[in-house]
Amino acid sequence: MAFGRKNYVILAVAAAVILTGYLALSRGSITLAPILLLTGYLVLIPWGILAK
């Protein structure tokens, strides 16, 4: 299964969302950070891997 442009775009968005989540976590966010991290890890990365 080869990745196409769509997969790489989704994975790049996932990386940006996860990075933003860690930045929010370092600033003390207890609401936004977990939402961003869960979205990145549990939604966007699997979607980026499985998208056709």
* pLDDT greater than 90 at residue 7: yes
Tell me the pTM: 0.92
pLDDT at 36: 98
How far are the Cα atoms of 17, 28, 35, 52 from residue 31, in angstroms, in the given order? 14, 9, 7, 32
Q: Are 4 and 50 in contact (CB under 8 A)?
A: no
Q: What is the pLDDT of residues 14-45, one digit of tens each?
A: 999 999 999 999 999 999 999 999 999 999 99
- Token duo for residue 24: 């929010």
Q: How far apart are the first and last CA of the chain?
A: 9
The whole domain housing 18 covers: 5-50
Give how many domains the chain has, as a whole number: 1
- Token duo for residue 12: 């790049």
